Structure 1
Amino acid sequence: MTEEVATFVAADYAVFGVMLALSASIGLYYAYKDRQGKEGVQGYLLAARQMNFFPVAISLALSFVSAVTVLGVPAEIHFFGSMYVWVIVAVVWVAPVVAEIYIPVFYRLEITSAFEYIEMRFNRATRLLSTFIFLIQNIMYIGIMIYAPALALSSVTNFNLWAAVATIGIVCTFYTTLGGLKAVIWTDVFQGLVLLVGMIVTLAVSVTSVGGFNKVWEACREGGRIDFINFQTDPRYRNTFWSMVIGLGFLWLSVFGTNQSQVQRYLSCKSEYEAKKGFYVGVIAAIFCLGLSYLTGFVTYAYFKDCDPLASGKISEPDQILPYMILLIFNNQPGLPGLFVAGLFAGCLSTVSSGINAMACVTVKDFIQPFVGWSQRVMTWVSKGMVFLFGALCIGFAILASTLGGVLQASLSVLGLVGGPLLGLFSLGITFPCANSPGAISGLILGISLSTWIYIGSTIYAPLPKFMGFKSLSIDGCAVANVTNNYTLTTMGSTDVMTTTVSTTTAAVRPPIAEFYSVSYAYYAAIGYGATLICGLVVSLLSCGYRERKNVDPRLILPLLDHKMFCWLPSKFRRFMWCGVSHEKDFDEEKPVKVKDISLKSISPLNVDEAKVNGDVSSPDPPPYPNSNGFSQKSNFSDSERSLPGVAVQENGETNQAFSMEDERSPI
């Protein structure tokens, strides 16, 4: 293995510069195209709800496969083994839940901010609190997204770290401010192509340099990296089947189910069907790219199996292992290191642009627009100003991200701390009619407090090495004479360090509460979700929420058992599970429909003369209005209108024959 490290040359800077220039030009194009501002705030923040599924799918995939994934997943495989591969199973079970529960609710309400649902379901105070918490989380998360590729660039070139941070933030803020969500989504398509090409080229060249996949597999097997069997139920173990599938499953459910960055993309589609199709295609693309990252992680171990660069001191952070390998294998191939870094930046720019656009959206819709009467043109300019402001804030937080440890666990921890409780809040409103405002606020506060408390505790009392699952590293093949075996490794997501020699006195003074803090980072979202849901339900029931359940707007509740996959359940049981909320579903065609001052023996637009205005009589219910999701939908008609398809009902009891034979029921 050669130790000659490549440096950035003119060809590399050219590739990198072209990617940045094209990204910025897309923003300029949409700024010019929409310069008249005829579509208003909806056009700027939601692309006028006219996007097709394909660009939305690519944009959603890049939310999952970001620069953190490209850097962090190979490092995870290299240092901790293959248990992280089980995340794919988590994504598989999360996908139908998001598509069949959360997307339909948000899309049919025709909202702009996901937190508008919170006010509809609970109250404005809960909406503003949840929006504020989301903004704090997103600023922190995007700061990490900016820092990750900047770290990679500075570690492989003489490019200053903070100059790289500024470059990412400025370019991203520039095209997002000018072009809005259209620019974000179409730039994602271009950046997704760059990222995919960079990942494929990197994997192909690195596998060839090692000697093929057979040698990669053999090296990883001998080094203990092929380890898929860990079903420990102890939550302190960092990577197990349960922490990956259940713990991170709830995290990704919060990201794709209720995170404004993703909800905004769903709402930009032409129809609910397009939104679902875009989501499913995006999940497939994300799994493919995730697989490339797994393979790259195995290759990095095979490449460095005899002389690990972290153990030998050639790199200082685990996340630098892939960029370091890139510079070694691309030593005599100008332009390829630039392609790799361009791919990293592409993944970063996608996540950052969608994030700051989402923050601008919720700020305008939740904190500004409800309290002012400004015109659409003014609100569009205010939205652009918010994009610029949040871009600057995220650049500032990127400076602090350097203190959070490995980028993969740091980013997932930040997502879990807030994403889990917010997921619990939305789930509380969507699935439990008895939930009320006191329960929602109490649950949200407890969920965030508990998960944050555990995270802070973990930075004070780091988990013991036996729970981390750190794999052994070798320096036997290193040519450097002064390499020592007594290396240190910063545990990803912790401020403490793990060494090859653990002090027994340190372990002895650990208080019992330290074991509680040692819970795996993968469970943060699940803990916040569970605490929010349980506390919210208990407080709601104690504050008489069950008595108020019938007053809840049915559009805000999704009767889960009314889905077509549960059609085999008895109708009476499914109706019972509505908990008193009427969802307008026809279970019994013989049930009489009561209409004020009107009785019809046979309802039909052709025999209205047979109606007798003498009281209530029986009439078959109108058929339910089905939808693509398999759930029944609530009609927008009033009670009197809803009862008589084809007949107009007047307050004085008279009837007028309808001029249309069609039932005008419309979906939510």
Structure 2
Amino acid sequence: MAVPGDIGSFTAWDYVVFALMLLISAVIGIYYAFAGGGQKTSKDFLMGGRSMTAVPVALSLTASFMSAVTVLGTPAEVYRFGAMFTIFAITYAIVVVLSSEIFLPVFYRLGITSTYEYLELRFNKFVRLIGTILFIIQTILYTGIVIYAPALALNQVTKFHLWGAVVATGVVCTFYCTMGGLKAVVWTDVFQVGIMVAGFTSVIIRAVVVQGGIEPILNDSYYGGRLNFWDFNPNPLQRHSFWTIIIGGTFTWTGIYGVNQSQVQRYIACKTRFHAKMSLYVNLVGLWAILSCAVLSGLAMYSIYKDCDPWTAKFVSAPDQLMPYLSLDILRDYPGLPGLFVACAYSGTLSTVSSSINALAAVTVEDLVKPYFKDLNETKLSWISKGASFFYGAVCIGMAGLASLMGGLLQAALSIFGMVGGPLLGLFSLGILFPFVNSLGAIVGLLVGFTVSLWVGIGAQIYPPLPIRSLPKPLSIEGCNFSTIDTNWTLTTALPTVTDMLLEAQAGERPALADNWYSMSYLYFSTIGTVLAIIVGVIVSLLSGGLKQNVNRDYLLTCQDFDYLQALFPSSWGKESEKVEVLNWKTRDSDTYPEKGTDNPAFNDMEMHNTEKNEKVNGVNP
């Protein structure tokens, strides 16, 4: 098997492929900086003029959170722990249905730019401000991780300077986000998701050829215990099982697709609600495709390295470097293909970071600038939006340094979304699903959910679960050829035993909560935050007179929001819903829709309706 220094290195063609990916991404940003007269208003910059269609938005949604964390982390997860991760395919389907049928109708009807505008309409400015701050913190931390991820790949495969790669990632993303706005983000995502699939496909096809077909890969995976799809152990302390992935994964990913600004901003920028919903369902196909590629890559990696684990043998220094190691090992005779895989990992980062930067700029302008500087015109707001994109690009580069301290990329990324995204999901669920919840209940529920999920999340970082809770599948180095290895390399001849790992974990003092509460699966962090936020919010609202308030139906999920059920209701209900939706859109932007302010009675009625929204306090109509 391969030994250190025997897996090849980057050739000129690899650098050409990699450079082309960066160049095309930058050119797309430049094009949309000037196309159609440029980004004249903040709505053009942040929302693409609300003219996007379903397919490009769907591919953009897929690219954004199928990032380098997926490209590098998921195959390594499957290689070490088995194909249990495949169950996420079911989770993704549930998440898409919940997001498109519960959250999308309300957000789209209101014609908002920032999801946190909804919190002020439904509750008050203070709730909106808390939600905005939590989102900014969550996104900056997550973006730091996905910037750091491909830098590991580049450092391992090409020997590029680690932090030079980190800075390069941030600079390219910041450039085309600042130049082209949301349209540049969406169309670079479309290009980059193609690169991601191509990179995965090249590795899978070559691995199948090397192993003599798909059947040997599946046989090796079966006898190696990697085809462990159906583990129904209900123990919440088990890292991955059917229940942790279905329940915990659903809460985690609904927090991303249902209420996270980075995702919502794209699908509510579609030109019709039909396109918005279709973007989510087409995106589901993309999620399945990327997940299948990642799982197959992990199984192929196990089949190739089942007798010589590169990590145990110290050929790589971290599990997240296994995929770039594999790509350079099996693709070394095909110049350009190793560069394609590294471009694949890099594309995952560019798509995610660009979406995050654009979303951070949107919430900054809509939630922190416009409410307090009402005299700013659209030209100034457009420049502020670009300045915010540049600023957040720089901040995310700086935060990438924290990623090196957070352990495994996949678990760290999903842990952040769980700790922060769960309580936020609970907050939006309180507003949309419970008419009697008031601002007091919303605030208390959010703070309790966030405090508890942060408590368990930080506790799990300080006191990691005992290894017996998340033991990797057996790996071997018996087939490694160590005869030519440099004597400076430190080798591990055998995996540590369970007893060894337990003794090491128990060497330090652990509090009583460490072996239960802190050892809970990281996928349940979001579930805890969401459920607690909802339960506490409901109880506090009922105790503080929430049943007495009268909430505008526009802010709630109603029967009319289920398009396929409208045949069961009077036809006038559906028409009224369409009228409200159109009027909300029309009155959002006087530059885009000059009808606003005319003598049209319908628009004047809607103008008064929007004024009542702004004057409403604590969810009670004046």
Deviation at 1:322, TM superposition (A): 0.8
Deviation at 1:360, TM superposition (A): 0.4
C-alpha distance 509-633 of structure 1, shift in aligned 2 (>3 A): farther
From 447, 454, 465, the equivalent of 2:449 is 447
C-alpha distance 263-504 of structure 1, shift in aligned 2 (>3 A): closer
- SS of the counterpart of 2:572? coil
Task: State the aligned residue count.
Answer: 579
Q: Distance in 2 between matches of 1:86 and 1:561?
A: 33
Query: Residue type of the partner of 2:312?
Result: A
C-alpha distance 146-368 of structure 1, shift in aligned 2 (>3 A): same
1:558 counterpart = 2:557: yes
Counterparts in 2 of 1:476-515, with a 5 A limit? 476-480=478-482, 483-485=491-493, 500-503=500-503, 506=506, 509-514=509-514, 515=516
1:152 counterpart = 2:153: yes
- SS of the counterpart of 2:72? helix
Deviation at 1:512, TM superposition (A): 2.3
1:400 counterpart = 2:402: yes
Deviation at 1:95, TM superposition (A): 1.3
**Who is 2:258 aligned against?**
257
**Who is 2:434 aligned against?**
432
- SS of the counterpart of 2:317? coil
What are the Cα deviations for residues 240-276 of structure 1, in whole angstroms up to 9, with x where unaligned?
Answer: 1000111011111111100001111012111100111
**Who is 2:338 aligned against?**
337
Counterparts in 2 of 1:85-484, with a 5 A limit? 85-372=86-373, 373-480=375-482, 483-484=491-492
- SS of the counterpart of 2:370? helix
What are the Cα deviations for residues 554-613 of structure 1, in whole angstroms up to 9, with x where unaligned?
Answer: 100113698477789xx9xxxxxxxxxxxxx75xxxxxxxxxxxxxxxxxxxxxxxxxxx
Name which structure has the greater RCO, CA cutoff 8 Å, separation 6+: 2
Q: Please say if residues 560 and 573 of structure 2, whose CA atoms lie closer than 8 Å, have aligned partners that are also in contact.
A: no
Q: Distance in 2 between matches of 1:62 and 1:319?
A: 19
Deviation at 1:422, TM superposition (A): 0.6
Q: Distance in 2 between matches of 1:636 and 1:344?
A: 41
Query: Residue type of the partner of 1:320?
Result: Q
What are the Cα deviations for residues 337-378 of structure 1, in whole angstroms up to 9, with x where unaligned?
Answer: 111111111111011001000000000000001111111101
Q: Distance in 2 between matches of 1:87 and 1:9?
A: 37
Q: Distance in 2 between matches of 1:553 and 1:99?
A: 21
Q: Distance in 1 between matches of 2:500 and 2:319?
A: 16
Q: Distance in 2 between matches of 1:147 and 1:45?
A: 26
C-alpha distance 41-309 of structure 1, shift in aligned 2 (>3 A): same
Deviation at 1:625, TM superposition (A): 2.5
C-alpha distance 187-516 of structure 1, shift in aligned 2 (>3 A): same
- SS of the counterpart of 2:480? coil
Stretch moving more, 273-282 or 558-567: 558-567
Deviation at 1:229, TM superposition (A): 2.5
- SS of the counterpart of 2:574? coil
- SS of the counterpart of 2:371? helix
C-alpha distance 441-210 of structure 1, shift in aligned 2 (>3 A): same
- SS of the counterpart of 1:314? coil
Q: Distance in 2 between matches of 1:506 and 1:347?
A: 38
Deviation at 1:33, TM superposition (A): 2.3
Q: Please say if residues 32 and 38 of structure 2, whose CA atoms lie closer than 8 Å, have aligned partners that are also in contact.
A: no
**Who is 1:624 aligned against?**
573
Deviation at 1:165, TM superposition (A): 0.4
**Who is 1:612 aligned against?**
none
**Who is 1:596 aligned against?**
none
Q: Distance in 2 between matches of 1:332 and 1:126?
A: 57
- SS of the counterpart of 1:558? coil
Counterparts in 2 of 1:71-86, with a 5 A limit? 71-86=72-87
Q: Please say if residues 92 and 287 of structure 2, whose CA atoms lie closer than 8 Å, have aligned partners that are also in contact.
A: no
Q: Please say if residues 554 and 634 of structure 1, whose CA atoms lie closer than 8 Å, have aligned partners that are also in contact.
A: no
Q: Distance in 2 between matches of 1:105 and 1:238?
A: 35
Deviation at 1:55, TM superposition (A): 0.8
**Who is 1:547 aligned against?**
548
Q: Please say if residues 110 and 581 of structure 2, whose CA atoms lie closer than 8 Å, have aligned partners that are also in contact.
A: no
Q: Please say if residues 139 and 356 of structure 2, whose CA atoms lie closer than 8 Å, have aligned partners that are also in contact.
A: yes
Q: Distance in 2 between matches of 1:245 and 1:424?
A: 18
Deviation at 1:460, TM superposition (A): 2.2
Q: Distance in 2 between matches of 1:402 and 1:459?
A: 14
Q: Distance in 2 between matches of 1:157 and 1:172?
A: 21
Q: Distance in 1 between matches of 2:509 and 2:34?
A: 64
Q: Distance in 1 between matches of 2:559 and 2:493?
A: 57
Deviation at 1:282, TM superposition (A): 1.0
**Alignment gaps of 5+ in structure 2:** 484-489, 584-599, 611-622
1:24 counterpart = 2:26: yes
Q: Please say if residues 438 and 546 of structure 2, whose CA atoms lie closer than 8 Å, have aligned partners that are also in contact.
A: yes
Query: Residue type of the partner of 2:503?
Result: S
**Who is 1:538 aligned against?**
539
Deviation at 1:185, TM superposition (A): 0.6
Q: Distance in 1 between matches of 2:39 and 2:357?
A: 20
What are the Cα deviations for residues 7-31 of structure 1, in whole angstroms up to 9, with x where unaligned?
Answer: 1121111111111011111111111
Q: Distance in 2 between matches of 1:205 and 1:447?
A: 47
Q: Please say if residues 115 and 362 of structure 1, whose CA atoms lie closer than 8 Å, have aligned partners that are also in contact.
A: yes
Query: Residue type of the partner of 1:393?
Result: V
What are the Cα deviations for residues 507-565 of structure 1, in whole angstroms up to 9, with x where unaligned?
Answer: 795432111110000111111110111111111111111111xx211100113698477
- SS of the counterpart of 1:502? helix
Name which one, 1 or 2, has greater alpha-carbon Rg.
1
Identical-residue share of aligned pairs (%): 45
**Who is 2:615 aligned against?**
none
- SS of the counterpart of 1:419? helix
Q: Please say if residues 52 and 269 of structure 1, whose CA atoms lie closer than 8 Å, have aligned partners that are also in contact.
A: yes
**Who is 1:592 aligned against?**
none
**Who is 1:494 aligned against?**
none
Query: Residue type of the partner of 1:483?
Result: L
Q: Please say if residues 306 and 478 of structure 1, whose CA atoms lie closer than 8 Å, have aligned partners that are also in contact.
A: yes
- SS of the counterpart of 2:517? helix
Deviation at 1:636, TM superposition (A): 9.5
C-alpha distance 42-330 of structure 1, shift in aligned 2 (>3 A): same
Deviation at 1:501, TM superposition (A): 3.9
Q: Please say if residues 239 and 469 of structure 1, whose CA atoms lie closer than 8 Å, have aligned partners that are also in contact.
A: no
Q: Please say if residues 238 and 469 of structure 1, whose CA atoms lie closer than 8 Å, have aligned partners that are also in contact.
A: no
C-alpha distance 499-56 of structure 1, shift in aligned 2 (>3 A): farther
Q: Distance in 2 between matches of 1:60 and 1:147?
A: 21
**Alignment gaps of 5+ in structure 1:** 490-497, 572-584, 587-621, 638-657
Query: Residue type of the partner of 2:572?
Result: P
Stretch moving more, 344-353 or 461-470: 461-470
- SS of the counterpart of 1:480? coil
Query: Residue type of the partner of 2:123?
Result: F
Q: Please say if residues 487 and 499 of structure 1, whose CA atoms lie closer than 8 Å, have aligned partners that are also in contact.
A: no
1:6 counterpart = 2:8: yes
Stretch moving more, 203-212 or 73-82: 203-212
Deviation at 1:104, TM superposition (A): 0.8
Q: Please say if residues 422 and 528 of structure 2, whose CA atoms lie closer than 8 Å, have aligned partners that are also in contact.
A: yes
- Name the TM-score, length of structure 2 as normaliser: 0.89
